[in-house]
Amino acid sequence: MTSYRYPGEQIILALTLFLVLAVIAVTAVATLCGSALFVMVMLVVSFVLNRSHHNELIESAHPVTPQTEPALANLVGDCAARLQAGPVGTFVAPGNILNAYTFGLVKPQILVVYAGVFRIMDADELRFIIGHELGHVSLGHTWLNSLVGGMAGIPSPYLAAVVLYFAFRWWNRSCEYSADRAGLLACGKPEKAASALIKLAGGASALRSAQGWQQALHQIEAEDDHLENNLRAMLSTHPMTVRRLDALRRYAASPEYHRLQDQINHVHPI
């Protein structure tokens, strides 16, 4: 009943399928090569920007060395040893910003702490802040952020781009939880890790009075009570403070934390 098929139909179908598969294969290879090239370009751009930022820091911030800031240099060195972060260059940047960060694709990575942090943090809280940032270095987040960020920025269809964006933000937030654990291991005091996060979130107003501290705590505890905040958190690189505090409490109560803290303290006592 199919003998009326045109004699060349099946041959043409086979050739058509071959060409379709060939086009798909070539497109996939081209996309893969293009994506790899895009990532390489992003890494080169990141490297150039890192060097430029480093040069700007040298002009605007002051480096921390055993000669210029012996106490701070010792604190950073001790935290780096406890977390096996390797050598880092440390700078104190001017301004009242309550922030610290790391950058750099190659060692030594750079740790920058704003002067405002020193005005509101005690020594143990500062250990948590510095340990948090050195955790990013030790775990490879500092250079991976450039690589994964480049991959997330690969030109792609709209839906795929949205998926990559949210996936990258999801990874960013997981890195913050890991770095908080590093900060806790660096300072060794869960209550100081918590107070450092509260001060970062509440700012100077939280320190002016007991009422200001309680107000900051209330605002933090209410963060995840609103749908708007939960949706905004999905777009953020950092988890809500209330979730970071909760994650820290759970980790501080875990056998894993106590085992690792004892191991670190045995080699590098605070």
Residue whose token pair is 């940032």: 133
pLDDT of 4 reads: 43
Which tokens go with 182? 């590093």
Which one, of 101, 82, 83, 81, lies nearest residue 91 by Cα? 101
CB 92 within 8 A of CB 113: yes
Ranges 55-59, 72-76, 136-140: which has the least confidence: 55-59
The pLDDT, as a whole number, for residue 246 is 95
pLDDT at 249: 95
Give the confidence band of 72 by pLDDT, cuts at 50, 70, 90.
Answer: very high
Percent of the chain with pLDDT over 90: 44
| Residues contacting residue 143 through CB under 8 Å, at least 6 positions apart | 104, 105, 106, 109
Answer whether 115's CB lies under 8 Å from 94's CB: yes
pLDDT confidence of residue 10: 67
CA dist., res. 254 & res. 121, Å (int): 26
**pLDDT, average across residues 14-21:** 73
Kindly indicate the confidence band of residue 204, based on its pLDDT and cuts at 50, 70 and 90: low
Structure-model confidence comparison of residues 205 and 118, the more confident one: 118
The rounded radius of gyration (Å) of the Cα atoms in the chain is 25
From residue 193, give the alpha-carbon distance in Å to each of 33, 73, 123, 184, 267.
Answer: 45, 20, 11, 6, 21
40 alpha-carbon distance from chain centroid: 21
Residue 94: closest CA among 68, 60, 122: 60
pLDDT of 90 reads 95
Cβ neighbours of residue 218 under 8 Å, at least 6 residues apart? none
Ramachandran assignment for 229, one of left (phi > 0), alpha (psi -120 to 50 degrees), beta (any other): alpha
Q: Is the pLDDT of residue 229 over 90?
A: no
Calculate the average pLDDT of the chain: 83
pLDDT at position 237 is 87
